[in-house]
Structure 1
Amino acid sequence: MKTFRTLASGLALAAVCIGLSTAASAALITEWRFDATNDWVNTTFNSPGPQAPTNNFLVSDTLPDGSDPNGAGNNFDIIRWGTPASGSPSRSFLALDDVHGSAGLFTNDPNGVAGTTVYHGNYRQLASGQQWLDTTTAATTITLTPVTPEGEPLDPIERQFFINFTETIDTPDVGSCPGAPWPTGTTACPDSFTVDLSEAAFSITIDDYIYTFSLLLLDEAGSQNIARLTFEDGQATVWTEEGVRSTLVTRIVVTAEQVSEPAPLALLGAGLAVAGLARRRKKQTA
């Protein structure tokens, strides 16, 4: 009878271990709120324009060419440059959402939610006018706040992504442009955005899950006038077409996987081992 009680206590211990394992397993965060603030940093201008650039930075509810793709009065953070050539709708420009946010970022949803949108007005500018853009960087600060399940609030997660832009000076021979060869019919050198892919994703452990947040650089459904997307040496490069306004739509996606834990059967085995150890000790002292 003593042996039975010892075995029963070992099974009870295993059951307690399994129960504790189940109780300690925190719920998966299934929904997040996504917010972003965006700024242009490290901006430089150069020739061929001999005039110093003026009025280059502004925040506006419309783009320099008069369009408003966001609608609803949402502001754009804008850099503009050059002096428009005949027939060009405006100075060339880069613009992105000044602030952007939405709920509905669901864990393990491959569609994610729309991130920052970048607009490139790539228009002809006078070589005798104001200087042209050389390089700049879009610095995007994102904040991710758990929404569901409700309970004890968790601190928001904050990270930065950087998208570098290089303005390509047109050459008479498109065959000598960066990124060549270009398809037949390309009449001017495309410009490029580059992203260090090591900055484009990060992971964080919350309770029993590892969450990975990823920036998808090019949402093909929403992007327009993109000449090419390439990957090389840990970087992604998006090439935009000349003479039009290009739209680069990014997306944020979150995935999760459970942190490895001792399996319930292993815990049951541990309980049985305790029971066996207790039996051996009883025999030794008998």
Structure 2
Amino acid sequence: MNNLKKIMYGVTVALGSMVIGQAAQAALITEWTLEATAAFVDEEPAAAVTNTGTVLSWGTPANPENQQSHLVLSDQNFVADVNNPTAGSTGVTTVTGLVTNGPAKDAATLTHYNNVITGDSLTSVTIEDSVVMTPTMPAGSSLPAVEFDLFVVFEETLNAEPCANPLGDPCADIYALTNPENLSFSFIIDEYKYTVTLDLGALDNLDADDCASVGLAPGCRGFAAAEDGFTTLQTQVNVTAMRISEPAILGLLGMSLVGIGVMRRRVRS
């Protein structure tokens, strides 16, 4: 039975939703702990960017502080330090007391130290994420990890007019996310569908010039980082739930079983 659950879970993730069959009495899970693990991978250009997993560094310093530019992953307790920009980085964020249908809570942070540099610059990076949800009220076992990637493109603007975004002195650097649809996922336990949503806070629809500067169409989502300073993107997470009918649950289970059959036929062939 446990193996079947795992197979069904994997199949339904591929369909964009997860189904977990449980025999316990149907009760709304009202509180959770979330643990997220993140890391930078596939940075470009790889030869010009140093990657520790939680810190990216690039460029030849051309500033009084003699600092490169950096992109730093950390948790909700991170405090930016321009004198020691790589301090406090971590790829693990734990959010406790996450109430179903309650307010969002602070989660991971992404900080860009935008220093004046010369030479090659970061152009893109992938953030690999893995999220584990554990019910705490009522208490239960941790769910299988949900893994997804966030694809980020970046434009290191020249510090000269004209520029796509006038924020800063004189031009802001531009970050954009190419797959914002990966900011939420859903799963079903008993009679409830739960949705976990990551809110990237300052992430907004950029104007057409900003989007064009990173090679994306108008309406892309991202943020501008002022020159000669730091910008921290504070993420938040929330969990919502809605009760679903028994036929809907059976329908999703049926889709899972169909997926399992397809997988088995492929293995045999």
Please, what TM-score do these two structures have when normalized by structure 1?
0.61
1:3-34: CA deviation from partner (whole Å, max 9, x where unpaired)? xxxxxxxxxxxxxxxxxxxxx86111011111
- Residues 217 and 249, structure 1, Cα contact 8 Å, conserved in 2: yes
- Residues 63 and 115, structure 2, Cα contact 8 Å, conserved in 1: no
Could you tell me the percent identity over the aligned residues?
28
Q: Distance in 2 between matches of 1:233 and 1:86?
A: 33
SS at 2:124 equivalent:
strand
TM-fit CA distance, 1:167: 3.0
Of residues 238, 241, 249, the one that matches 2:234 is: 249
Of residues 97, 108, 113, the one that matches 1:116 is: 108
TM-fit CA distance, 1:157: 4.0
- Residues 78 and 96, structure 1, Cα contact 8 Å, conserved in 2: yes
1:29-52: CA deviation from partner (whole Å, max 9, x where unpaired)? 011111011110111128xxxxx5
SS at 2:108 equivalent:
strand
Give 1:132's aligned residue.
121
Q: Label 1:196 to 1:102 Cα distance change in 2 as closer, same or farther (>3 A).
A: same
Length, aligned pairs only: 198
Q: Label 1:216 to 1:122 Cα distance change in 2 as closer, same or farther (>3 A).
A: same
Give 1:224's aligned residue.
none
Which ranges in structure 2 are unaligned for 5 or more consecutive residues? 1-23, 75-90, 207-216, 248-269
1:253 corresponds to which letter in structure 2? N
- Residues 38 and 99, structure 1, Cα contact 8 Å, conserved in 2: yes
Spell out structure 1 runs of 4+ moving beyond 2 A: 160-167, 169-177, 231-236
TM-fit CA distance, 1:103: 1.5
Q: Distance in 1 between matches of 2:180 and 2:219?
A: 6
Matches within 5 A, 1:1-286: 26-45=26-45, 53=48, 56-58=50-52, 77-97=54-74, 98-111=91-104, 113-127=105-119, 131-150=120-139, 153-171=140-158, 174-177=161-164, 180=165, 182=166, 187-218=170-201, 229-230=204-205, 235-260=220-245
Which ranges in structure 1 are unaligned for 5 or more consecutive residues? 1-23, 47-51, 60-76, 221-227, 263-286
Q: Distance in 1 between matches of 2:130 and 2:219?
A: 21
Q: Distance in 2 between matches of 1:246 and 1:123?
A: 11
Q: Distance in 2 between matches of 1:249 and 1:93?
A: 16
TM-fit CA distance, 1:189: 3.4
Q: Label 1:137 to 1:261 Cα distance change in 2 as closer, same or farther (>3 A).
A: closer
TM-fit CA distance, 1:96: 0.2
2:205 corresponds to which letter in structure 1? T
Q: Distance in 2 between matches of 1:79 and 1:204?
A: 33
- Residues 174 and 186, structure 1, Cα contact 8 Å, conserved in 2: no
- Residues 191 and 241, structure 1, Cα contact 8 Å, conserved in 2: no
TM-fit CA distance, 1:79: 0.9
Q: Distance in 1 between matches of 2:33 and 2:195?
A: 15
Q: Distance in 1 between matches of 2:218 and 2:149?
A: 17
Could you say which structure has the larger radius of gyration?
A: 1
SS at 1:132 equivalent:
coil
Please, what TM-score do these two structures have when normalized by structure 2?
0.64
Deviates more, 1:97-106 or 1:155-164: 155-164
SS at 1:198 equivalent:
helix
RMSD: 2.8
Q: Distance in 2 between matches of 1:233 and 1:212?
A: 28
Give 1:13's aligned residue.
none
1:145 corresponds to which letter in structure 2? T
Q: Distance in 2 between matches of 1:235 and 1:126?
A: 27
TM-fit CA distance, 1:191: 1.9
